[in-house]
Structure 1
Amino acid sequence: MPVSPAGPLSRDPIQEAHRQWGQHGWGEVADGMAAITSVTRTHQIMMARIDEVLRPLGLTFARYELLTLLSFTRAGALPMTKASARLQVHPTSVTNAVDRLEAADLAQRVPHPTDRRATLIKITEAGLALAATATAELNARVFAAPGLSDSQLRQLIRILAEFRQNAGDFSSENSASSWQPDDPE
């Protein structure tokens, strides 16, 4: 899949921006600018790959994540507030995703059995089937070959986990340095 309609650029624009940043007197922060810009561009490339798989299935990544989260639960349901927390998104985003999933008969809102104030999001059989199909497609077409070697992937996961922990994304009791993806070596 080409990254841009015109094909690959002849030069790395982030490397050029790094050079320019240094030339204009901001050399001490050029590495930080290049790192953040690189992560942002990498995110765009990854999301384009994911969208290419999910769009024909009628899903966005947000809706796919919610369906998959629900499919992982024992009862196929979660309170909306828990779904929001686990997906690390604003409750409004979950509400919008549920609205779309309900319209497509992939999920439904149901009353919480013990808390009248809470609403559960429950995945339907069609939602389970679509989540399984989408996961198989993403695994085969995106996740199996993300563009880095196994050792590079493990290193990247550790670095990003450390960054997220330092940013307050999760507590230090779940230390990023102890987070280890499966290592077949």
Structure 2
Amino acid sequence: MPEPLPLDPIAEAHRQWTAHGWGEVADGMAAVTSLMRAQQIVLARVEEVLRPFQLTFARYELLMLLSFSRAGALPMAKASARLQVHPTSVTNAVDRLESAGLVRRAPHPSDRRATLIELTGDGRELAMEATGKLNAEVFGNVGLPGDHLGPLLQILAGMRRDAGDFEDGAGRW
């Protein structure tokens, strides 16, 4: 971890925004910049845990999505929709996971146009092992007090809902 800076660069940017006449949007700029920096910090922690498993977070998410499905398999298009990523991203992740023996492609039993992604036993085992490490090293201590997590989840869910991520009433926060 790098040495802490002697000042908060986002607070300084907020000050500069205000000094340059953009005070009415300074809070918004600081919120966006803070969210992006927090994402970088969390992603670095997650990727550090996943590196020994030779997984990226995107590939880990796909393994977990498959492990949560009833049959351990999903059509490529459904995986793309549930992960909220472009189909090309899923194809890339499947290519990597398939070459590692963690998933396999299979024809869809009732739709000749669709391809299923199936989780292999090795893929399920690796996903569970990686989840244990993530639970212990990241998810169990995200860097915030526990009583802050509920309000944060509500705020972020509202932001995501308003951006069209899911229908109103579909979240539990």
**Aligned residue-pair number:** 173
CA distance in 2 between counterparts of 1:97 and 1:24 reads 44
Is 1:77 aligned to residue 73 of structure 2? yes
Q: Tell me the amino acid that sits aligned with residue 136 of structure 1.
A: G
Secondary structure of 2:78's counterpart equals helix
SS in structure 1 of the partner of residue 105 of structure 2: strand
Residue 58 of structure 2 is aligned to residue 41 of structure 1: no
Map of 1:106 onto structure 2: 102
Distance 2:23 2:63 in 1: 45
1:74 maps to a residue whose letter is R
Q: 1:29 aligns with which of 25, 28, 31?
A: 25
Match of 1:116 in 2: 112
Q: Provide, for residues 162-183 of structure 1, a one-character-per-residue CA deviation record: whole Å limited to 9, x for no partner.
A: 0111111111242x5xx23xxx
Equivalent residue letter for 2:73: A
Q: Deviations over 1:72-118 (max 9, x none)?
A: 11110000000000000000000000000000000000000111111
The within-5 A match list for 1:172-183 is 172-174=168-170, 179-180=172-173
Query: Counterpart of 2:134?
Result: 138
Letter in 2 for 1:70: L
Letter in 1 for 2:10: I
**Normalized against structure 1, the TM-score is what?**
0.92
Give the percent of matched residue pairs that are identical in Structure 1 and Structure 2. 65
- The letter of the residue matching 1:143 is F
- Give TM-score, length-normalised by structure 2: 0.98
> Equivalent residue for 1:164?
160
Q: Hey, what does 2:50 align to over in structure 1?
A: 54
**Alpha-carbon separation, structure 2, partners of 1:26 and 1:158:** 28
Paired letter, 2:11: Q
Is 1:94 the counterpart of 2:81? The answer is: no
Instruction: Supply the distance in 1 between the matched residues of 2:52 and 2:100 (Cα, whole angstroms).
Output: 14
What 5-or-longer segments of structure 2 have no aligned partner?
Answer: none
Matched to 1:13, the amino acid is P
CA distance in 2, matches of 1:173, 1:81: 24
CA-based RMSD of the aligned residues comes to 0.8
Cα distance in 1 between the residues matched to 2:169 and 2:19 = 42
1:18 aligns with 2:48: no
**1:167 and 1:115 mapped to 2: Cα distance?**
32
Unaligned runs of at least 5 residues, structure 1: 181-185
